[in-house]
Amino acid sequence: MHVPAHGGGAGLPADVREAFGSYAHYDLTELPGYDDLFHPTGIIAAAQQLAAELWQAEAAYFLAGGASAGVRAMLAAVCNPGDEVLVGRNAHKSLADALVFTGAVPRYLPVESRDGLLLNVTPQAVREGLVRYPRAKALYLTSPGYNGVAADLAAIAGMARETGVFLLVDEAHGAHFRFSSGLPQPAGPFCDLCVQSWHKTLGALTPGAVLHCHSSRVDRRRLRDALQAVQTTSPPYPLLASLDAVRRRMALSGENVVREMLAQARTLRRVLAAKFPLLTAEEAKQLGFALDETRITILTARAGIDGLALGNLLATCNIETELIQSHAVLAVVGPGYNPDWTEKVAACLQAMPPVRAFNMYLPPPPGLPPVRYTPREAWFLPSAAAALPDAAGCAAAAPLVCYPPGVPLVYPGEEITPAVVEYLLAARSAGVIVHGVDEQGLVRIIAEV
């Protein structure tokens, strides 16, 4: 006599019950003894404390809304409306929502790139940003990026401490760094707050994620309030249980899990490298970064072939990769990787017909566009629809994002420059999905009067 109304699965439609009946058995509500995610005193509190101890944090918070919820909560915990925050331009689009939610004012930092691939923010870019914006309250970095390229957090953290800014890190793709010296350094020892997507790297259910607090400078009451404000009041218990189970596995055998991931990734790398150029740890190091080798990026543009064509050819062999772009293809090796898959990839490559040449015109990613309004201001201003070619010179009312990887080319309030229009038209012609452009090719612009 309580919700959810399916009564442990009996009330589900028959086909759903057949597929998800065992999951539904654990789909419960806050019954006596089951604790409360937002006021934990029992089993959830104990599970979060164990996670904090394992990741050497002062506190850990399970996220029922994915890392995106954690991004919003991090910013809300330390920034007031009008506070300036330095932001690496490789941030996920959830940051745009966080900027609207908090009213913080972004000051963007450039990101190094090679062959159309975003790498990360350099210490020099951070240093220049701190000098240019001395009133900055926080520094927000994404490390590692989607392709596993990690910033030099040790050097950057020193600057953050000297200037007193909060260091916030979106470490969605780096929860496993803690368990191997062969991976980039984890963010924990350097940051105030970080978010990890355990479903992306450790095998939790989607969208299971965790926010770690590593600093007594953060107001915990405000952080807890922010977490409740950005998440559902009905968190799914199977998701929370999967987070705790993953934590237990990593506590008992995390080094072995990650060692096997790396071993399988390096074997797959050798197979792929025999045919295609890859982004390597050595190249990343030469550029001042570190690379997670379980993220395998095939540099198709460097090879002179079309990444979209390669991804489609792999798909015909029932090999699905994480990200297919015209200039690169990304494969991810996680704890669920089957060693037999490497043999399947090798056989597919051997039988694969020639991949068509990369002849789609795709200009370099455009530079930082001029800012006309803050994201929060843009959110509340009247908007109108415009065809993408006609939007040049207008201010965007919504993010324009090539997805994946989900990094905005234009944030709300920024000018849609001719270079942005040219890039997005070419990207859409190449088959790239662009969030913010609808089926008719229309974008939302601020209706200025």
The pLDDT, as a whole number, for residue 360 is 62
Q: Looking at domain 375-446, does it have CATH number 3.40.50.2020?
A: no
Token reading at 77: 């915990």
b/e code 119-136 from CB counts within 10 Å (16+ = b)? bbbbbebbeebbeebeeb
Residues 185, 150: contact at Cβ < 8 Å? yes
CATH fold for the domain made of 7-250: Aspartate Aminotransferase; domain 2 (3.40.640)
What pairs with residue 109 in β-bridges? Answer: 88
Class at the top of the CATH hierarchy for domain 255-351: alpha beta
Compute CA distances 57 → 159, 215, 364, whole Å. 21, 8, 40
Burial class of residue 299 (count of CB atoms within 10 Å of its CB; 0-12, 13-18, 19+): buried
* Per-domain boundaries in the chain: 7-250, 255-351, 375-446
Residues 169, 193: contact at Cβ < 8 Å? yes
The pLDDT, as a whole number, for residue 325 is 84
The pLDDT, as a whole number, for residue 215 is 96
b/e code 251-281 from CB counts within 10 Å (16+ = b)? eeebeebbeebbebbeebbebbeeebbbbbb
Q: How many helices (H) and strands (E) does the chain have?
A: 15, 19
Alpha helices (H) along 79-116:
94-102
Q: How many other CB atoms are there within 10 angstroms of residue 404's CB atom?
A: 16
Can you give the pLDDT of all 449 residues of the chain as single tens digits?
A: 899 999 999 999 999 999 998 999 999 989 899 999 999 999 999 999 999 999 999 999 999 999 999 999 999 999 999 999 999 999 998 999 999 999 999 999 999 988 878 899 999 999 999 999 999 999 999 999 999 999 999 999 999 999 999 999 999 999 999 999 999 999 999 999 999 999 999 999 999 999 999 999 999 999 999 999 999 989 899 999 999 999 999 999 999 999 999 999 999 999 999 999 999 999 999 999 999 999 999 999 899 998 989 999 999 999 999 998 888 999 999 999 999 999 999 999 999 999 988 766 667 778 889 999 999 999 999 999 999 999 999 999 999 988 767 788 899 999 999 999 998 988 888 777 888 999 898 999 999 75
Dump pLDDT digits (tens) for 394-420: 999 999 988 767 788 899 999 999 999
Token reading at 264: 């399988």
The pLDDT, as a whole number, for residue 362 is 67
The pLDDT, as a whole number, for residue 308 is 87
**pTM of full prediction above 0.85:** yes
